[in-house]
Structures are given as C-alpha cells and as structure tokens.
Homo-oligomer: A and B are copies of this chain.
Amino acid sequence: MSRPPTSRDLARLAGVSQATVSRVLTNNPKVNAETRARVLQVLKDANYTPNALARAMKTGRTDTIGVFMTRVTSPFHAELLDEIGRVLSSMGLHMILWNIEHDPEETIAAVVQQRLVDGFLLTSATYDSTLHTMAVTSGTPTVLLHRGIDGLDCDQVVGDNWQGAYDAGQYLVDAGHTDIGLVTLTHTGNTSRDRDLGFRAALADAGVKIKPSNVVSVGVPHADGHAAAEKLLSRKKPPTAIYTVTDLLAFGILDGARAVGARVPDDVWVIGFDNTDMAAWEAFDLTTVEQPVHAIVEAGVDLLRDRITNPDRPTQVVTLPCPLVIRGSTANRR
C-alpha cells in the first residue's frame, strides 16, 4: 500500500517484459492473445492503474481540460459548469477548474505554459482581460464558450445574444410597451454588449425611443438588479417593462419591484436572459431568453477535442439560437 505497483512490478509477476505490459495497456495489437490474457489477469489481481503522470509525460497528453470560469455561484455559471463536467466526464476527460476572480494573473500565465492540460475552455472571456490571448498564443488548443471575442482567431461557441435580445425587444414592442427600462452590465463581455445592442435595435426598428433615464448600468450581483429596479420603479412615471441582460439581475429586479410594491406583470413586465432553472420557479416565473447550455457545451467540447487531434484546421465560430421563453413575468395585455 505504501508504493503503488508499477508496470515493471507486474511484468515480473506475469513473467514478461515491462514493454509487453505497456502494450497490453495501450491495446497494442502486436501481442499474443494468451500473453495478453495472462497479463490482464495479473493487472486485475493487483488492481493496477497506470501512473497518469508518467503516461502523460511520455505521450504529451494528460486527458485533462482546463476550465476557466468566474462566479460559480451565479446560477447560469453553475449550470454551465455542471454541463461541462457532465460532457467532459462522459468522454473520460478530467477537469481542472480555475476561477478568474481568485487566481492571480501570473498563476494563470504559468498554467497556460505548463502543459498541465490538453486544452482550455474559457467561459468568461472579456475584452479587458488578456487570458484568451495568453491561451491562444500559447498554442494550447482553446475554445471560447458562452462568451466570445469578436475577431479572435480561436474556436468559439456562443449563443446568438443579439438575436435573442432583438426578439425580446420586439416582443415588448408588439405588446404595446413604449416606456421601457433597460438594465445593462458595466463589464465588457460580448454577451452583455450584444444583449444590449440587439434589444436597442429592436426598439429602434419599431420606432420606439428609449429614454436615457431608463437605462441603468450595474454590476453582476442580485443586489444591483434590486437597486436598479428600485431606482426605475420609484419614479413618478415608471417604465411599464424592464429588460435586463441576465437572469440573476432579473431576479434582483423582481425582488426590487416587490420591495417598492410594484406588481409583476400588472404594473411592470420583466424579462431576463439565460433561462436558468430558477427562472421557472414560482417565485420568479420569469420570461427570459434561453441560452442553449447543453448545445453550447456539447459543441464546444467537440471543437476542442477536434482541435487537440487536429491542431491546424481553421478556427470556427459556432453561433446557436437563443429562443424567447415566455412566462408569467410578462403577459399579453393588449
């Protein structure tokens, strides 16, 4: 129990060379059926598992994927992480998880160089971070998931945030809303940007002006949505609908509405973005734009594995549709 048995130990036990044991382990066809059977039996009896480090050092592959994420406690991110774990595991891959908030830049830079992983999944790329460029220039296979970077020569899988936001805007306009609140994020991801721009485009196309005072830029937490709602809804003439760029903010907005006594959807409609599991809870019953988490992760991991085996193929950007999911936080009242 002190030292795990090595392939050499087992070779001795089976009366063959270490090379033959290794051949059995790697399913090398050039090994006699009887020999293979005998070796397999010995391996099984000894409950042997190859040393992953030695194997990785020799083959250059670790069967491990590095995942960079932020704010795991955010419902959408948790769902994304869960899905990534599920998909990687189903392919026999391990996952090392780094949190962009916690891990200092130099740690990340070191990791990118270290070849600890066969590839990276970046889920939280922002324009003011250098992580994605470090990853890409390191030559390690990398896929941007969920958040993309326009023009970056790197595989990317993103939702069609712009179109989803556009649909949400159109839905509000079609329902007759003209005084509409917009709660956006201050940070610089492509998601929040497109979810902002697409929404504005829909309103502009319909000739609906959005008042500057109806636009609030906030941080990511629930409390910020709460504060934004209080600000918007405690005005003399509050907007009749509020759209925001994440479900988490929408939950905050719903809570803020509760706090100031505004009824949803009677007094104000609320629309979020992500369609997290929680959006379907009675407490929120939130109309929201769905992100196809499963499809995004599936496609992303496929791209990554493909690139690992085929590093020189041209990069690819996959965009997946984000359908509007209508629930009780909005209601056709026209």
Contacts and interface: CB of A to CB of B under 8 A. Distances in A.
Contact of A52 (B49, B72, B115, B277): B115
A95 interface: yes
Given A1-B139, A72-B81, A258-B282, A99 B114 contact: no
Of residues A71, A73, A103, A113, which shows the largest number of chain B Cβ atoms within 10 Å of its Cβ?
A73
A96 B258 contact: no
- How many copies of this chain sit in the oligomeric assembly? 2
Given A72-B85, A82-B72, A113-B49, A255 B283 contact: yes
A102 B85 contact: yes
22 contacts: A4-B115, A50-B114, A51-B114, A64-B96, A72-B78, A72-B81, A73-B75, A73-B79, A73-B82, A82-B99, A85-B97, A89-B103, A94-B96, A94-B116, A96-B96, A222-B277, A226-B282, A251-B281, A251-B283, A255-B283, A259-B282, A283-B283
A50 B114 CA distance: 7
Interface string A246-283: 00000110111011000000000000000001100111
A135 to B, nearest CB: 13
Given A49-B110, A85-B99, 17 more contacts: A1-B137, A53-B56, A53-B62, A73-B78, A86-B99, A86-B102, A89-B99, A89-B102, A89-B103, A89-B107, A90-B102, A94-B96, A222-B277, A251-B281, A255-B281, A255-B282, A256-B282
A2 interface: yes
A277 B73 contact: yes
Q: Closest 10 A-B residue pairs measured CB to CB?
A: A255-B282, A49-B113, A89-B102, A283-B283, A52-B114, A78-B78, A72-B82, A85-B99, A73-B78, A86-B102
A284 interface: yes
